[in-house]
Amino acid sequence: MPLYAYLTLAALLFAIGFFGVVTRRNTIGILLGIELMLNAVNINLVAFARFNADIVGMVFTAFTIPITVAEVALGLAIVILMFRMRRTAIADHLDILKG
Amino acid sequence: MTLEVVTFWGLAVLLIGSALSVVLTKNLFHSVLWLALSLTATAGIFLALEAEFLAAVQLLLYAGGVVTIVVFAIVVTERLVGERLTQTSRHIVTGVVLAGALLLAVLRFLRGADLPVERPVIAVDVTRALGRVLMTEFVLPFELLAVLLLVGLLGALYFARPEE
Amino acid sequence: MTDPAQPALLALLLPACAFLILAVVAPLRRRGRLAAGLSVLFSAGALVAAIAALRLTAGSDGFSEWLWAWIPAEAGPLASVGVLADGDSAIMLVLVALVSFLVQVYSLGYLSDESMPALGRYYAYQSLFAFSMMGLVLAPNFVQLFICWELVGLCSYLLIGYWYTRPEAARAAVKAFWITKAADVGMLVGIVLLWRHTGTFDFLELLQMADGRVIPLAGLGVITFCIYLGASGKSAQFPFHIWLPDAMEGPTPVSALIHAATMVTAGVYLLTRTVWLFRLTPDVMQIIAWNGAFTALLAAVLACVQTDIKRVLAYSTVSQLGYMMAAIGAGFASAGFLHLLTHGIFKALLFLGAGAVIHAVGTNDIFRMGGLARKMPQTAIVFLVGTMSLTGVPFFAGFFSKEEILGAVLAGGFPGPFAMLLLGAFLTAFYMFRVVFITFFGTPAATHGADAHHVHDAPPFMALPLWILALLSVGIGTLFAFWHPKEEFETLGWLTPTAIVVAFAGIALAYLVYQRRAISADALARAFAPIRAAALRRFWIDDVFSFIYRGLMLGLAKVVGWVDRYFVDGILNVLSAWTLTAGDSLRRLQSGRAQDYVYGIALGVLLLLVWVRWPR
């Protein structure tokens, strides 16, 4: 399969993830959307690494995966905290910074 | 119809299907499970791209770790069952429009680009090469990553501490 | 030294130096007597120089010029200042210097009760005025003329409002300034238009152009009319005459100097100086003649009902100025100019005499005087001399010049104005002798001397100028009886007797009414009741001006104010309101929800992609 097949796949995945981020009400749902987007990015990176015979792309991926894991962990910790304070996990209710 | 093509299309359908299910399912718990499936499909894609090490890492960390964490979080926040789609999602039309626009923009971008079609032949072992580079060129970021993980761990612990 | 420009320049600069010294050296000015002495001394010097200049120009028709390029430019200076000494300007210079000197001496006595700093201020102004007036008289071009014109107006304001703590005085000063300034706008327009028309401001150049018939006639009428407007403001022609009676709020010596002999004659002088220009526009000349005659008659009527001695003299001045203007309009400027000179002498005399009376009695109201001839014989004599000059009794100064004017107007082909002037002469005799009889003869009024002034004759400082002027009046009158300047027109034989008869008729009427009481003053008043009533309201001319000022100008100010408040401020308020509304609307972008911000980011990325890929 040519490169652009993989890239198209990644783009599609990214769009779906974006849709999830902006439409989900539950905060955890938003985090799932973010996961999808990050996945798409990783597919991109690995595909480029393979087709350009450059290992750096895979190194990049090797870094993003753990970082993403850490980010999810922290994000969920925040969600739990918010749930404790506000008794809600709905993103729309978390608008203290409203202008 | 080579094996490669069939594998790719199969994995692609699986990936996209499960991704759509992640964002469209009402039940959050089901969403998480669909996510697990899509993460696994991604690992499959990595394998198709001859990045075995990364496929393994993906399975271990993502499909294993992340999913587990999210499940715990859902259990803690006790909002499992949502009602209709409009109550789990908001502004669907806008989201579709914008996501579609984004997709189209990227695709057009790709169309004009000069992309290689054939995979180049790889002589060395990818995993070995990855390891060597990680320990020589990128050793600094590697160590920093370790520090980051430590900090993340401490942070998560602090956030989730029981109230006094 | 045969160049008359040099002594003329000296005469011009001496009062200027006096003013500068008094203005700058404040300690000197505050020692009033010392300042007065300085000013009088320099004024005397100016008089001597003026007489020297006169002697050098006597008999010759030539001009002597001294110029200094004030604004130099490549093709000749844009504006120069200096002196232009010829027969007319030299004799006017003498008049100005003489009256100025006499008035300053007189003021030493009249203003002896003033505080020292105020006196110093007064003499500084007097010196400034002398300088400005001489600058006007000697002006070689319209630029210097206009500058000095305005300076003279300023001095008039300063001197009328000398007692500025009195509201009437302050108002009068402003009124004088306003009216003359309004007229001066016309003059400025005229001067500028003239420059556009001919390319020069200089009198001599313009004279040559006029003689050589080089000046284009189209549009010249507008120019001369505009210049006439300015002249009529200063010379109190109708309708600009209203400031002069009110200007009597100033000290009497000021009235004598400015509002009798010098400033008000500036307009007449200007017309005389530029008569070669006016001769080219006969239509404007007609206007000048008719307006002059009308003013003369109007003012004479108004003078008949006044009870304030100075107001009578003020209206008399307006009337006489009308006579001068009528003569100029008829085409015989020399007759007008001659009357200007004689009038300067005897009107100054009358004012100073009135001042002596006011100083002694403490009031201006003639009905609170009476029988003063016995207590103030010198003053009575000189006042009588002045009155007879004004009335046109033979052997007194005014007789010949007034007859010249009557003859000029008739010769110029203006029978209507002639009739008006003749009637005016009758009224002049009547009202002047009315004043004389009421003030100096008859029984003293019951309340006269109520201010516990013991009525005394004029003190020496005041008496000396009075006598000098009186002697001059008689001297000139006698001189003219035997020798007079050649006339430019044919005098009709019946003119002189008619003039004499008219004058004496007026005297007789005044005698009968006010001295003998043979005719009742009340009956006379009743006979002319409507005219009298209108005259007491000054024919509502003041009210018209007041309406224009208050009604139109203040109304305009209100409109402009409304526009400012609602349009200008309104626009600003609308803009600020829009800004606030825009801010409010934009604020809703900050919803506080993270997902909305993600939308924003996505939009930004999209736009970026489009922008990068657009020039494909």
pLDDT digits (tens, 9 = 90+) for C388-427: 999 988 888 888 888 888 888 888 888 888 899 999 999 9
How high is the mean pLDDT of chain C?
A: 85
Q: Decide if B23 contacts A33 (C-beta within 8 A).
A: yes
Of A81-85, C106-110, C220-224, C290-294, the least confident = A81-85
Half-sphere exposure of A82 (CA within 13 A, CB side): 19
* Mean pLDDT, range C293-310, rounded to an integer: 90
Q: For residue B163, what are its two tokens? A: 């109230």
The answer to whether A39 contacts B39, with C-beta atoms less than 8 Å apart, is yes
Task: Say what the alpha-carbon torsion angle B25, B27, B32, B35 is, to the nearest 10 degrees.
Answer: -10
Low-confidence ranges of chain B (pLDDT < 50): 80-81, 83-86
pLDDT for res C590: 82
Q: How many C-beta atoms surround the C-beta of residue C17 within 10 A?
A: 15
* Mean pLDDT, range A89-98, rounded to an integer: 78
Q: To probe the interface with B, which of C599, C605, C608, C609 has the most B CB atoms within 10 Å?
A: C609
Specify the pTM: 0.68
Rounded Cα–Cα distance for residues C10 and C33 (Å): 25
Q: Helices marked H in B25-138 — which ranges?
A: 28-48, 52-57, 67-77, 85-88, 92-111, 126-136
Close Cβ partners of C520 (under 8 Å, ≥ 6 residues apart): C513
Q: Which residues of A fall within a CB distance of 8 Å from B115? A: 2-4, 7, 51
Rounded Cα–Cα distance for residues C525 and C237 (Å): 27
Taking the CA of residue B94 and the nearest CA in chain C, the distance in Å comes to 9
Q: Which residues of A fall within a CB distance of 8 Å from B125? A: none
Close Cβ partners of C32 (under 8 Å, ≥ 6 residues apart): C114, C115, C116, C117, C118, C119, C120, C123
Rounded Cα–Cα distance for residues B5 and A82 (Å): 46
Q: For residue C178, what are its two tokens? A: 């306003």
Q: How many C-beta atoms surround the C-beta of residue A43 within 10 A?
A: 23
Q: Decide if C127 contacts C25 (C-beta within 8 A).
A: no
- From the list C134, C119, C35, C46, the residue with the least C-alpha distance to C84 is C134
The answer to whether A25 contacts B65, with C-beta atoms less than 8 Å apart, is no
Q: Decide if C323 contacts C421 (C-beta within 8 A).
A: yes
Q: Residue C141 carries which DSSP code?
A: B
Beta bridge pairs of residue C82:
C67
* pLDDT tens string C363-372: 888 887 877 8
Rounded Cα–Cα distance for residues C351 and C244 (Å): 14
Nearest CA in chain B to C612: B109
* Mean pLDDT, range C433-440, rounded to an integer: 88
Q: Decide if C353 contacts C379 (C-beta within 8 A).
A: yes
| Phi and psi at residue B58, to the nearest 5° | -55, -50
Rounded Cα–Cα distance for residues B115 and A3 (Å): 7
Rounded Cα–Cα distance for residues C403 and C284 (Å): 24
Task: Say what the alpha-carbon torsion angle A61, A63, A65, A69 is, to the nearest 10 degrees.
Answer: -170
Q: Which residues of B fall within a CB distance of 8 Å from A60? A: none
Q: For residue C444, what are its two tokens? A: 């003293």
Half-sphere exposure of C339 (CA within 13 A, CB side): 30
* pLDDT tens string C504-557: 888 888 888 877 777 777 777 777 777 777 777 777 888 888 788 788 888 899
Return the amino acid letter for B49.
L
Beta bridge pairs of residue C80:
C69
- Exposure letters B8-40 (e unless 16+ CB within 10 A, then b): beebbebbbebbbbbbbbeebeebbbbbbbbbb
> Hey, is the C-beta of C508 within 8 angstroms of any chain B C-beta?
no
* pLDDT tens string A34-47: 999 999 999 999 99
- From the list C277, C276, C158, the residue with the least C-alpha distance to C150 is C158
| Phi and psi at residue C452, to the nearest 5° | 60, 25
The answer to whether A51 contacts B116, with C-beta atoms less than 8 Å apart, is yes
pLDDT for res C62: 75
pLDDT for res B84: 47
Q: For residue C449, what are its two tokens? A: 């001397």
Per-residue CA distances from B87 to B26, B82, C163, C354, C414 (Å): 9, 7, 91, 107, 108
Q: Decide if C69 contacts C123 (C-beta within 8 A).
A: no
Interface of B with C (CB under 8 A): 90, 94, 98, 101-102, 105-106, 108-109, 112
Residue C472 has pLDDT above 70, yes or no: yes
Q: Which residues of C fall within a CB distance of 8 Å from B101? A: 606
Taking the CA of residue A22 and the nearest CA in chain C, the distance in Å comes to 5
Rounded Cα–Cα distance for residues C161 and C86 (Å): 35
Name the residue among B102, B108, B109 with its Cβ closest to that of C602.
B102
* pLDDT tens string C6-15: 888 888 899 9
* pLDDT tens string A9-42: 999 999 999 999 998 888 888 999 999 999 999 9
Name the residue among C602, C609, C616 with its Cβ closest to that of B98.
C602
* pLDDT tens string C166-186: 888 888 888 888 888 889 999
> Hey, is the C-beta of A16 within 8 angstroms of any chain C C-beta?
no
Name the residue among A69, A80, A83 with its Cβ closest to that of B66.
A69
Largest Cα span, chain C: 118
Taking the CA of residue A97 and the nearest CA in chain B, the distance in Å comes to 20
User: What confidence tier does C65 reach under pLDDT thresholds 50, 70, 90?
Assistant: confident
Q: To probe the interface with A, which of C586, C587, C593, C596 has the most A CB atoms within 10 Å?
A: C593
Q: For residue C545, what are its two tokens? A: 């001006």
pLDDT for res C312: 92
Q: Residue C591 carries which DSSP code?
A: -
Close Cβ partners of C102 (under 8 Å, ≥ 6 residues apart): C348, C352, C465, C468, C469
Return the amino acid letter for C428.
T
pLDDT for res C488: 66
Q: Decide if C251 contacts C294 (C-beta within 8 A).
A: no
> Hey, is the C-beta of C584 within 8 angstroms of any chain A C-beta?
no
Nearest CA in chain C to A30: C595
The helix (H) or strand (E) run that includes residue C308 is none
pLDDT for res C616: 58
The pLDDT > 90 percentage for chain B reads 45
Q: Which residues of A fall within a CB distance of 8 Å from B79? A: 26, 89
Q: How many C-beta atoms surround the C-beta of residue B65 within 10 A?
A: 16
pLDDT for res C452: 43
Q: Decide if C184 contacts C176 (C-beta within 8 A).
A: no
User: What confidence tier does C349 reach under pLDDT thresholds 50, 70, 90?
Assistant: very high
Close Cβ partners of C206 (under 8 Å, ≥ 6 residues apart): C194, C198, C200, C215, C274, C276, C277
The answer to whether A95 contacts C592, with C-beta atoms less than 8 Å apart, is yes
The pLDDT > 70 percentage for chain C reads 96
Q: Decide if C134 contacts C96 (C-beta within 8 A).
A: yes
Q: To probe the interface with C, which of B93, B96, B108, B111 has the most C CB atoms within 10 Å?
A: B108
Beta bridge pairs of residue C66:
C83
Residue C489 has pLDDT above 80, yes or no: no
> Hey, is the C-beta of C587 within 8 angstroms of any chain A C-beta?
yes
Close Cβ partners of C473 (under 8 Å, ≥ 6 residues apart): C342, C345, C346, C349, C385, C386, C389, C396, C397
Q: For residue C1, what are its two tokens? A: 């030294």
Give me the interface pTM, i.e. the ipTM: 0.90
Name the residue among B22, B96, B103 with its Cβ closest to that of A32.
B22
pLDDT for res C373: 79
Q: Decide if C44 contacts C163 (C-beta within 8 A).
A: no
Name the residue among C599, C603, C613 with its Cβ closest to that of B109.
C613
CA C153 to mean position of chain CA atoms: 7
Q: Decide if C28 contacts C21 (C-beta within 8 A).
A: yes
Q: Which residues of A fall within a CB distance of 8 Å from B74? A: 28
pLDDT for res B140: 94
* pLDDT tens string B77-118: 765 445 444 456 777 888 899 999 999 988 888 887 778 877
Residue C131 has pLDDT above 90, yes or no: yes
The answer to whether A6 contacts B49, with C-beta atoms less than 8 Å apart, is yes
pLDDT for res C322: 92
Length, in residues, of chain C: 616
pLDDT for res C445: 65
